[in-house]
Structure 1
């Protein structure tokens, strides 16, 4: 159970970080000071990096779903019968 919780928590942190990166590239959030060099770089490479962020978030969500189904649907339930 501990490994399941740690794995899910780590993937949720990665989702938050990639979401912040996407929002930063999209211009909705500003992380640190931006200058003209960053704006030019974002204009040239922003679309590709935004797609990479989106694909990474989708893969992380699929991994969380996979872990959920693997843990809760393959783990036998405790028996409620008294011996």
Structure 2
């Protein structure tokens, strides 16, 4: 996701990182987000998303990329959910 050329191009347009573009897309969709980082520089980057607004065209372009599934793991696979939740012993 962070190396997606379309997201990179949108980021360059606004002089923002891909992460900032994604976070801003979520905010503009009224989705509550919880970002996590232990690095101070990334914490600053994550909060610095309120000085720009994505155009409708860019919002739509990003929405079309949304596959409606996790990029990390399937929430529908019981064995993975059990492993992540620490239920599997």
More helix by share: 1
Greater Rg by CA: 1
TM-score normalised to structure 2 length:
0.30
Q: Calculate the TM-score normalised by the size of structure 1.
A: 0.31
